Structure 1
């Protein structure tokens, strides 16, 4: 394709079509995340019964290197093409593909060379890293589909990968191949993804052609964008180290379980983050529409996530021991602070982070991520000994407030939005409702049933309080959720998928 000529998936979208695709994307990506989480959990249960803990540790080492290789090879360059107003040309996609393919092939060769003298763990890592060139082949198609908000097609790719990975991993491990079954399953997953991507997005099949002059304009934004992801990854790893070093391995185990509980609300926010970036990139030149969308996003997210997070916090004293056993009871102490931090920071970042990225202001998001990490450590580490795992939740709460302040301030300098006021009623209602639910759950004996009662009580009280405070906003939130489902299940969406 010639420079400047668009792709079939990257047509100009009308306002109504953009809104429909964005709403459908929220439901599709959220559902996809939940299904993948459940499939992964079921697969892990089966594989864990067939392997030794040491085997899973070897795979964890390999996966760490795969994540690092992904960060380096991506470089955030794809994000630069997603945020741009004009569609990427075939030459640009080919240049990007050549760069990423070259980097991943070099990493694969290096991993194989290092594995020769180091033995089994290094060889398993080398096999897993060998999946990265196939991942690189998917990037052009992913860029085009993300720009067009065609998330049904992306979900087809991702679900195909997960199903093939689980089938290969379970089958080969059961056949006696042990850890090599998991390692080769990583390669199979990437290969299947590349093949399916070629089917659902033929325009993404481009010939890799090294042309650095086409990539150079994307490097600045791309590096800052990827630095944000690297900061989050490093923050999580260092936090685990600090919790283990200061509080002990038992506290780390409690935090790991509490963090797993937070994955469900985090999945919902991830779907909103993912959809907001390409959506705002389409609207950033229209200041009035961008302002309305950011304002609506923070209002609806604060209420919608308030239901989920309030119910989770109120149910924790019974839900945790009821599901996982009484030995995990103390993990519930981290949940309320984590929920509050996610409610504040998540609501603002969903509304504003995509807008800042669309402006090309990855520097502010990076600064927010760094300050968030520093705040989390500054609050958590001194309180670990006296408060235990609850300190990690308090650290998350403080970090969420800092993130909201930094991102919110940068956004309000660009467009006239109110990001703090919409949080007041949901936060106050959520804290009060969660406190009542916590008491119900704890006094009910800390069982699964008392946890469900506490969570239900919290959600009901939150709904009543928010209806009294702003019933129109509650209606708009429910209407948005319903329209997201309708948009995702519509005949038009089925044709696009």
Structure 2
């Protein structure tokens, strides 16, 4: 790349092409998440039969440090380049690459030095942290592809990483390398991502350029953006510790399983969150288009996610013990509150969070995240002793209402949109439908088949109820889902676009 050159993939997009790429991104990213989840589960089943819990604990410790290193090295600077109207120059990308590569190399050196007195756990962690420089090399390409909403290419990178990770991990563990197979698989995954990114991104691997003055204007936004991610990470870890301290390890185990069960609807929301930020960044200067997109986002998400969450909540009394065993039955008590929380908070955050990031109001998102975390703890911990793990679901719901309120107020001060009225029908119908489905699943004996019956009952009741209440919105939601599939399967309109 030449100095200062911008990138042809990052040209202004027509409204129709922007919508096509955004719709394709939703389907591609959500499908990618499901496939990765299934591959990860299958890989864990194989590896878990060959390793003991102590080995998994060592890897978990190492992964915690990898997450922290990624949080620090990113610094949110990439988000600043994604939201900006002007495409990043080669020099800016080189400066970003130099900063992140230098930071991750320093962390790798520190991890290696600390590993000497710590022994095996230290060396496993050091090997896993050594993957971060290869991750840093991918950041410029990720920024360019995110800006252009070219998610097929990003998914190609991510899927290649997962396949190589699982293949290396399973092969080395079977060969007798034990925990070192998992640790080195982390490095192989990052190296694979860097190599594939060099092929799928027109810019290739950007040469690091130590010119930090070029990215200095991005630091303020980047730090605030990363503070939001840090808040989420700290919230999750602290919540786990508090549940274990107040309710015991058994309650923590029930919550851990329930949280894994909620990953399926969360994957859909993650795809919407991920696509909404670059899409809103493209439209933030056009208030008419932005207002329409925000309104459509909350309308469609409330119905689409309402269907998924209602089905899950109605099936929980049979699905949980039927799949995992009767000893996990109490984990189902988390699901209703968690689903209700995602129904409210998810719909509003999908519609507003990307918009607020796009206009630079990170403070509102950070404020919402902090208040959400405080509310979750304030509701959950006092109720944990009398109600058990169900209190975590109630805390999730209460915190989601607080988060949605803060995000909604910050958005409606700028855009004339209705964020909460569209939630009324899906939430009320969803609560009634899931309650009836729950009764069917529970009275059926709490088996897998009764869970399927309860979930099916909830799904049918929700679909019928929403069709009666607002047929136009149901058609709009179905049209968006079908359009996402068509857009993902369609051929790119110009060579090299996806």
TM-score, reference length from structure 1: 0.99
Q: Please say if residues 4 and 86 of structure 1, whose CA atoms lie closer than 8 Å, have aligned partners that are also in contact.
A: no
Q: Please say if residues 4 and 91 of structure 2, whose CA atoms lie closer than 8 Å, have aligned partners that are also in contact.
A: no
Write the distance in 2 (CA, Å) between the matches of 1:228 and 1:421: 27
Alignment of 1:192-341 (within 5 A): 192-341=192-341
Q: Please say if residues 310 and 462 of structure 1, whose CA atoms lie closer than 8 Å, have aligned partners that are also in contact.
A: yes
Q: Please say if residues 338 and 397 of structure 1, whose CA atoms lie closer than 8 Å, have aligned partners that are also in contact.
A: yes
Per-residue Cα deviation, 1:363-421 (whole angstroms, up to 9, x for no partner): 11011000000000000000000000000000000011001000000000011111010
Per-residue Cα deviation, 1:308-366 (whole angstroms, up to 9, x for no partner): 00000000000000000011001000000000001100000000000000001111101
Write the distance in 2 (CA, Å) between the matches of 1:436 and 1:396: 22
Following superposition, the deviation at residue 202 of structure 1 comes to 3.1
Write the distance in 2 (CA, Å) between the matches of 1:403 and 1:386: 26
Give the SS at the match of 1:85. Answer: coil
1:496 aligns with 2:497: yes
Write the distance in 2 (CA, Å) between the matches of 1:476 and 1:425: 15
Q: Please say if residues 9 and 497 of structure 2, whose CA atoms lie closer than 8 Å, have aligned partners that are also in contact.
A: no
Write the distance in 1 (CA, Å) between the matches of 2:476 and 2:426: 14
Per-residue Cα deviation, 1:25-77 (whole angstroms, up to 9, x for no partner): 00000000000000000000100000011000000000000000000000000
Per-residue Cα deviation, 1:253-293 (whole angstroms, up to 9, x for no partner): 11111101100000000000000000000000000000000
Following superposition, the deviation at residue 8 of structure 1 comes to 2.4
Following superposition, the deviation at residue 11 of structure 1 comes to 1.7
Taking a change above 3 Å as real, the CA distance of residues 297 and 3 of structure 1, as seen in their structure-2 partners, is farther
Following superposition, the deviation at residue 3 of structure 1 comes to 6.5
Alignment of 1:379-394 (within 5 A): 379-394=379-394
Give the SS at the match of 1:492. Answer: coil
Q: Please say if residues 302 and 423 of structure 1, whose CA atoms lie closer than 8 Å, have aligned partners that are also in contact.
A: yes
Write the distance in 1 (CA, Å) between the matches of 2:328 and 2:117: 42
1:377 aligns with 2:365: no
Q: Please say if residues 3 and 90 of structure 2, whose CA atoms lie closer than 8 Å, have aligned partners that are also in contact.
A: yes
Following superposition, the deviation at residue 205 of structure 1 comes to 2.1
Query: Aligned residue for 1:431?
Result: 431
CA RMSD after TM alignment: 1.0
Give the SS at the match of 1:137. Answer: helix
Q: Please say if residues 5 and 87 of structure 1, whose CA atoms lie closer than 8 Å, have aligned partners that are also in contact.
A: no
Query: Aligned residue for 1:411?
Result: 411
Segments of structure 2 that go 5 or more residues without pairing to the other structure are none
Query: Aligned residue for 1:165?
Result: 165
Query: Aligned residue for 1:36?
Result: 36
Query: Aligned residue for 1:56?
Result: 56
1:183 aligns with 2:183: yes
Write the distance in 2 (CA, Å) between the matches of 1:443 and 1:368: 40
Write the distance in 2 (CA, Å) between the matches of 1:100 and 1:391: 40
| Large movers: runs of 4+ above 6 Å | none
State the aligned residue count: 497
Following superposition, the deviation at residue 207 of structure 1 comes to 1.3
Segments of structure 1 that go 5 or more residues without pairing to the other structure are none
